[in-house]
């Protein structure tokens, strides 16, 4: 079972997203993260999802995605060199001695504190899924009040592009 990042270029039309998501539930595939937004060409959306499966399952997933009429192109980013990023916003308890400790940890992970109250820091952190998880571990679960993660976005390295 391998984790895969599938990146899809699709028509920016109502209902297109529901077809992609529906395909996964109807065929018993798993979606771990999902992000979608329009691209520089407003008629196209870029959807990135992470899923797990063996080669056979991933082959079926990509074939079925390609069959969806609104899917224009797709790529399994994990097949080649790629960059992946996820953004996380997190509220952590920051009182007393912890205030400095949290700040230090945020600095180590090259995050930013984007909002402050007398008891709470709101932290913004960008990186791979592994890095975000390492940060959550480092900060200690008891400190965490709320976590919002964007899901993975990805792009291939080098000159290769996913476009029309």
> How is residue 13 written in tokens?
């039309």
**Binding site residues, other proteins, CB under 8 A:** 10-11, 14-15, 18-19, 22, 26, 56, 59-60, 63-64, 66-67, 69-72, 164
Helix, strand, coil proportions of the chain in percent (round to 5)?
30, 40, 25
Q: Compute the distance between CA of residue 138 and CA of residue 144 in angstroms, rounded to an integer.
A: 11
Shortest distance, CB of residue 70 to other proteins, whole angstroms? 6
Instruction: Name which of 34 and 68 has its Cβ closer to other proteins.
Output: 68
Shortest distance, CB of residue 93 to other proteins, whole angstroms? 41
Instruction: Name which of 17 and 144 has its Cβ closer to other proteins.
Output: 17
Shortest distance, CB of residue 96 to other proteins, whole angstroms? 50
Name residue, tokens 């400190």.
143
Do 3 and 57 touch, CB atoms closer than 8 A? no
Q: Compute the distance between CA of residue 69 and CA of residue 85 in angstroms, rounded to an integer.
A: 28
Instruction: Name which of 76 and 133 has its Cβ closer to other proteins.
Output: 76
Instruction: Name which of 22 and 38 has its Cβ closer to other proteins.
Output: 22
């Amino acid at each position: 079972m391998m984790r895969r990042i599938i990146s899809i270029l699709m028509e920016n039309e109502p209902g297109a997203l529901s077809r992609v998501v529906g395909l996964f539930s109807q065929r018993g595939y798993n979606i771990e993260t999902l992000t979608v937004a329009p691209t520089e060409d407003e008629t196209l959306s870029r959807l990135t999802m992470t899923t797990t499966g063996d080669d056979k399952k991933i082959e079926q997933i990509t074939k079925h995605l390609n069959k969806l009429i609104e899917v224009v192109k797709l790529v399994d980013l994990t097949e080649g060199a790629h960059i992946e990023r996820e953004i996380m916003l997190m509220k952590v308890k920051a009182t007393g001695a912890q205030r400095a400790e949290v700040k230090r940890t945020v600095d180590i992970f090259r995050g930013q504190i984007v909002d402050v109250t007398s008891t709470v820091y709101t932290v913004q952190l960008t990186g791979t899924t592994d890095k975000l998880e390492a940060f959550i571990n480092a900060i200690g679960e008891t400190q965490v009040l709320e976590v919002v993660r964007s899901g993975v976005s990805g792009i291939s390295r080098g000159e290769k592009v996913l476009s029309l």
